[in-house]
Chain A
Amino acid sequence: MSTDPRDFVSINGIDRRDFLIRGSGLVSAAFLAACDSRGPKAADKLLKYAERKNLVVERKLFRHTSMDVVQAGAHEAGNKLPSYFIAPTVPVWDESVGGKWALEVSGLVGNPVRLTLEDLQKLPQVSNRVNHYCVEGWTAVETWTGVPFTELARLVRADPQARYVDFQSFDDDYHESWDIESAMHKQTVVAYGLDGKMLEPAHGAPARVYSPVKLGYKNTKYLTKIVFMPKMNGGYWSDQGYEWYGGT
């Protein structure tokens, strides 16, 4: 058998130049396939690992004394505050189906309660003028009025074993679970008022959780249930791949 490289050319019909062109084309095609705009699939594990480590860092960084501060001169967003919900239309509590709306606070607690809107309004009330931090990158200044979450925790005698809290809604199956520290932050409220008026359906009426320490998507609207839990319970957006912690 001859080892003349030209034999290879005559048999395969390609020469070195062809080989280089085709070869580089193949390599780039493989690169593009493995590395589309989402990045290589193989990196998913690494990204999950980084998210777990970041969660540890973020929870260590959390301080109850760190407060959101609205910049001097910032304007209220007012009707420019976007309204998000996952149902096809604005979710409105239907009394003819579910009876009178009430917020259930239960789980690992000594004294589970059901609170109507009137009950909520009788509890200690605060108004916080704070920033809203959306995962998309926009911010909005609003004044939220409601019951400090710490008051609710005291009322139901939350068990120290409860390290997480799930906020559930009647907006389809929307819910988001939180770490207990963020829920017990002074600026976390179960809000029924926005900018001095009762909350409108567009922004989560009758009541929603609101805190500047979490990104917008963690602040469940249209509340039905607050459940104290020993373990985290994911969430609507967290289950779709957004980070679970979502802390600011």
Chain B
Amino acid sequence: MVGSGLRIFNAYPAFARKGEMFCCYPFEHKPIPDWLTFGGWLGGARHWHFAMMWVLVVNGLIYLGFIYLHGEWRDLVPRKGDIRDSWQMVKFYTFRRKDHPHQGKNNALQKTAYFLLPVFGALAVVTGIAIWKPVQLSWLTAMFGGYVWARYWHFIAMLAIVILSIGHIFMVFAVDPYSLTSMITGNYDPSLSPEARNARPFYHLFPKRVRPVSAPPPPEAT
């Protein structure tokens, strides 16, 4: 979706309405490098985009349906103190705090990211519909401030999704590769958690060596 979208964008790599200027994009009329695009040409990229959009929507609905039925949405809704706790995580990752803040299933920074991702996903879908049908659904397009702005929010939503995804994949490998198992099987060994290891990106990737404690002698028979 991102690659074909960028190919479509490259047909007019700007936001301004003809005869106007656009305030909020510093790279007007600078195309995206070809190697980041997909689809080969405008028409081809549009076919990919308009076919794969259904996969994205169905995938998103399955995800939302699943976390609704399993109650796991409760883990993701923002709560009081999440921003403060996320900031503590940032401080820890930047060595301005010594000990790992409370991890739980997901730490506060993760929770914020996992909450924002579906929000930006939904924004990408809805703004996409708004620029697909700016006349038939003109009320929707107007909600985003008209076609030019809807197209801009569509771009921003894509950018946010890309940044969150890259950050997520980086952190999996740099901080908690053990979670790969739990992503697939659901099992998780708490002794390997980032909190237990006090893990920052590329720091304490391996579990702490625990000195084996000799077992107490069996109680004597009476």
Contact = CB atoms under 8 A, between A and B. Distances in A.
Interface string B7-40: 0110110101111100000000000001001111
A143 B14 CA distance: 23
Interface in B123-180: 133-138, 142, 145-148, 151
Interface stretch (B48-56, B92-100, B101-109, B185-193): B48-56
A81 B51 contact: no
Contacts of A68: 134-135, 138
Contacts of A180: none
Contacts of A46: 51
B43 interface: yes
B17 A139 contact: yes
B87 interface: no
B11 A37 contact: no
Given A136-B11, A140-B18, A39 B40 contact: yes
A123 B145 CA distance: 37
Contact of B51 (A50, A75, A138): A50
A240 B54 CA distance: 24
A241 B43 contact: yes
B136 A39 contact: no
A62 B142 CA distance: 18
Interface residues on A, range: 35 or more
B40 A38 contact: yes
A248 B66 CA distance: 33
B19 A38 contact: no
Contact of B134 (A76, A82, A131, A135): A131
B205 interface: no
Contacts of A50: 47, 50-51, 54
A240 B18 contact: no
Contact of A62 (B42, B50, B136, B148): B136
A115 B51 CA distance: 42
Contacts of B142: 69, 71
Contacts of A39: 38-40, 44, 48
Interface string A76-95: 11101110000000000000
Nearest to A213: B135
29 contacts: A36-B40, A37-B38, A37-B39, A38-B44, A39-B39, A39-B40, A47-B48, A50-B50, A51-B47, A61-B137, A66-B135, A71-B146, A71-B147, A74-B20, A82-B18, A131-B134, A131-B135, A133-B147, A137-B8, A138-B12, A213-B135, A237-B43, A241-B41, A241-B43, A242-B43, A243-B50, A247-B133, A248-B134, A248-B136
Interface of A: 36-39, 43, 46-47, 50-51, 54, 58, 61-63, 66-69, 71, 74-78, 80-82, 131-141, 212-213, 237, 240-243, 247-248
Interface of B: 8-9, 11-12, 14, 16-20, 34, 37-44, 46-48, 50-51, 54, 133-138, 142, 145-148, 151
